[in-house]
Chain A
Amino acid sequence: MDTPRPLYTVPIIAHRLFGQQRYQGFSIEPGFPDDDNPFPRHDRGPGFVVRGTLEADGPPGIDRGVGTWRSWQEIDAMFVADPTVDASDGTTVNDLWASSGIRFELVERIDAQTSSGLARMLPADSRLRDAIIYPLRRPGAINLFLVREIDGSWGYARRSFPVRPDIIPLAVVSDMRTRSTDPTNRWRLSLITLAHELGHVLGLGHVAFNDNVMLGSGTRLSSVDFHLPQIAVCRSRAAFLSGAVAPPARP
């Protein structure tokens, strides 16, 4: 099928979620900067962790040892092809969405911080994680949060509502670092999950077709298609989010 020119470009503000340093003073402890070993059956040998800041009573600093593993280069490569990025195979989320005429564009990059425990793993309780994530959102774009792990899911999303501009659309995607030992598969599963969450933001629910991005009961490497009725739904919301159409007045 011919790939149509993008009709709508939807802006995305990306947030990398990290922990915050609240340690008193400064210490060097045995261990590793990360809190657990992704390969526990392999001994990593001795290591050390530098904890704390010299300004113990100042505002908390970002603890990059806890939170997403993704670099900005890697996140950019999820939207604009960059085969030089180690984790990437040169495909993007926009390739998956190409048939829809909708393109996503990163317009802002933010390093956000929350409690180190929550940055390590977002809990499944939506009330708790909303209390963390909601205040960090910015209006005027889809807010994408990159987090290390989410309890019980690979991602989640909140829909956009054209008549409710006060509800800021949200997509959250985890790093999925141990999900596959094959880097190409890991990259593609990340893209499919991101495309799936953006589908939710643009109004789609789950389907039972194995070849569809919105498959709800699993994620397959072949789950890469959208069907025409889905595209119609997404375009109607993308028109507002892209700024091409002013949202209707609220009754």
Chain B
Amino acid sequence: MTPDLPKNDGKAQPFRPSGDGIAALLDAPESDEGVIAEAAFYGADGCETLLELVAPSSNLDLERRARGVFLLGRLHCQDLFKLAPALMQEGVLGIQISLAYALVEIDRAQGEKLLLPLIKDEKADTLLREHAIYAVLAGADRNLRALLAEIVGGSPDRRLRLELMGWLTVDAPDPFQGPDGQSPDDEC
């Protein structure tokens, strides 16, 4: 029960990563600021490692790969755009969904450019289209919101229309506002 406290001899300790490398962060329960800070500590080498871990050729399990994609988004790793076509082509929904959010996180304009054709594609997976819409909807301006409403409103995908039209109309409450007085900062 007694914690094994580090012996610092009264001196301040510099930031020290956990020592297990960036791959170990894929096991972290959450992706809080501490995890992002540690991932950033590994710099370009860390991004390169993550890109290898999330690639279709990786032997890592699918959920860890999806988490790797998420982390690459938070690290603003531009090279994820190069890997994006291969990940989309592979067709693993969990990874594709994480990718949609990560691309918008890295570069909103470029992310929108890649996701809008997917959102318009009636043959694409309806659940992936739904997430792609959420990804670009967060922080969307009035024009983009109107465009999304037009695409979804004209779609033969009844499920998508019923789930999303309530949030896409101009007067709809902003889904990105917390529903009660609890701040998202309280989350852990």
Given contacts A116-B127, A178-B62, contact A40 B91 (CB under 8 A): yes
Distance of A207 from chain B, by nearest CB (Å): 8
Tally chain B residues at the interface, Cβ within 8 Å.
59
Asked if B24 and A217 sit within 8 Å, CB to CB, the answer is: yes
The answer, yes or no, to whether A219 is at the interface (CB within 8 Å) is yes
The residue in B135, B162, B187 that gathers the most chain A C-beta atoms within 10 A of its C-beta is B187
The answer, yes or no, to whether B141 is at the interface (CB within 8 Å) is no
Within the complex, which residue of A99, A126, A196, A208 is in contact with B29, where a contact is CB–CB below 8 Å? A196
Question: Helix, strand, loop or mixed for chain B's interface?
Answer: helix
Asked if B97 and A216 sit within 8 Å, CB to CB, the answer is: no
> Across the interface, which residues of B come within 8 angstroms of A158, CB to CB?
182, 186-188
Closest A-chain residue to B26, C-beta based? A218
Measured between alpha carbons, how far is A135 from B179 in the docked complex, in Å? Answer: 8
The answer, yes or no, to whether A225 is at the interface (CB within 8 Å) is yes
| A–B complex contacts, Cβ < 8 Å, 16 sampled | A35-B125, A116-B126, A116-B163, A118-B130, A124-B101, A127-B138, A128-B134, A130-B178, A134-B178, A134-B179, A149-B63, A152-B67, A152-B74, A179-B63, A197-B29, A217-B25
Distance of A1 from chain B, by nearest CB (Å): 7
Within the complex, which residue of A117, A128, A152, A212 is in contact with B175, where a contact is CB–CB below 8 Å? A128
Question: Helix, strand, loop or mixed for chain A's interface?
Answer: loop
> Across the interface, which residues of B come within 8 angstroms of A212, CB to CB?
3
Query: What 1/0 mask marks residues of chain B from 167 to 188 whose CB sits below 8 Å from any chain A CB?
Result: 0000000011111111010111
Closest B-chain residue to A195, C-beta based? B29
The residue in B27, B162, B180, B188 that gathers the most chain A C-beta atoms within 10 A of its C-beta is B188
Q: A125-B134, A151-B97 are in contact. List 13 more A-B contacts (CB 8 A).
A: A115-B163, A121-B131, A123-B131, A123-B135, A125-B101, A134-B179, A153-B31, A154-B28, A156-B188, A157-B187, A159-B188, A217-B35, A226-B1
Asked if A216 and B32 sit within 8 Å, CB to CB, the answer is: yes
Asked if B187 and A156 sit within 8 Å, CB to CB, the answer is: yes
Distance of B33 from chain A, by nearest CB (Å): 10
> Across the interface, which residues of A come within 8 angstroms of B20, CB to CB?
217-218
Distance of A44 from chain B, by nearest CB (Å): 13
The answer, yes or no, to whether B2 is at the interface (CB within 8 Å) is yes
Measured between alpha carbons, how far is A174 from B61 in the docked complex, in Å? Answer: 15
Distance of A112 from chain B, by nearest CB (Å): 15
Asked if A209 and B134 sit within 8 Å, CB to CB, the answer is: no
The answer, yes or no, to whether A205 is at the interface (CB within 8 Å) is yes
The answer, yes or no, to whether B79 is at the interface (CB within 8 Å) is no
> Across the interface, which residues of B come within 8 angstroms of A208, CB to CB?
18
The residue in B4, B24, B127, B180 that gathers the most chain A C-beta atoms within 10 A of its C-beta is B127
Tally chain A residues at the interface, Cβ within 8 Å.
67
The answer, yes or no, to whether A147 is at the interface (CB within 8 Å) is no
Residues 153-197 (chain A) with a chain B CB within 8 angstroms:
153-159, 166-167, 174, 176-181, 193, 196-197
> Across the interface, which residues of B come within 8 angstroms of A225, CB to CB?
1
Measured between alpha carbons, how far is A24 from B160 in the docked complex, in Å? Answer: 12
The answer, yes or no, to whether A64 is at the interface (CB within 8 Å) is no
Asked if B127 and A130 sit within 8 Å, CB to CB, the answer is: no
Measured between alpha carbons, how far is A178 from B59 in the docked complex, in Å? Answer: 12
The answer, yes or no, to whether B71 is at the interface (CB within 8 Å) is yes
Q: A-B pairs with the 6 shortest C-beta distances?
A: A117-B130, A152-B70, A36-B93, A126-B184, A217-B18, A127-B176
Within the complex, which residue of B3, B67, B179 is in contact with A209, where a contact is CB–CB below 8 Å? B3
